[in-house]
């Protein structure tokens, strides 16, 4: 399955006791591949993942799970390949 870039969405919960709407942080939907945590999938995410895979010092992933595109709980070249495909699909859309 080829991942597609998604626009981050949030869900809201109505709190009936005070009538306020709340948007819990835990309800934030993450963008696939957004490893730098800026809210969108971009070339910078692929560059960051490459640097991390090459063990470049001082490389920090804001959200490594976002880059685990094949959901096998590890980051490797397969995830990078899927990220490249997602970027190509995003740019050709
Ligand atoms: Ca990003
Ligand atoms: Ca993976």
User: What is the domain partition of the chain in residue ranges?
Assistant: 13-92
Given a contact cutoff of 8 angstroms between Cβ atoms, the answer to whether 27 and 53 are in contact is no
Half-sphere exposure at residue 55, Cβ-oriented, CA atoms within 13 angstroms? 0
Burial grade of 29 (CB within 10 A; 0-12, 13-18, 19 or more): exposed
**pLDDT at 20 exceeding the cut of 80:** no
Of the listed ligands, the closest to the CA of 38 is: 1
Look at the domain 13-92 and name its fold. Type 1 dockerin domain (1.10.1330)
User: What is residue 74's three-state secondary structure?
Assistant: coil
Please tell me the distance from the alpha carbon of residue 6 to that of residue 32, in angstroms, as a whole number. Answer: 7
23-73 pLDDT, tens digit per residue, is: 444 445 678 999 999 999 999 999 999 999 999 999 999 999 999 999 999
Shortest-distance ligand to the CA of residue 48: 1
**Ligand 2 mean position to 72 CA, how many Å?**
5
The bound ligand whose nearest atom lies closest to the alpha carbon of 69 is 2
Q: What is the pLDDT of residues 69-89, one digit of tens each?
A: 999 999 999 999 999 999 999
Ligand 1 centre to CA of 38 (Å) is 5
Task: Starting from the CA of residue 81, give the closest ligand.
Answer: 2
pLDDT-derived band of residue 5, with 50, 70 and 90 as boundaries? low
């Amino acid at each position: 399955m080829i991942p597609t870039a998604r626009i981050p969405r949030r869900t809201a919960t109505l709190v009936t006791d005070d009538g306020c709407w709340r948007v819990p942080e835990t309800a934030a939907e993450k963008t696939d591949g957004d490893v730098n945590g800026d809210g969108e999938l971009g070339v910078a995410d692929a560059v960051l993942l490459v640097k991390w895979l090459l063990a470049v010092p001082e490389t920090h992933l804001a959200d490594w799970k976002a880059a685990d595109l094949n959901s096998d709980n590890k980051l490797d070249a397969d995830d990078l390949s899927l990220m490249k495909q997602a970027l190509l699909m995003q740019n050709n859309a």
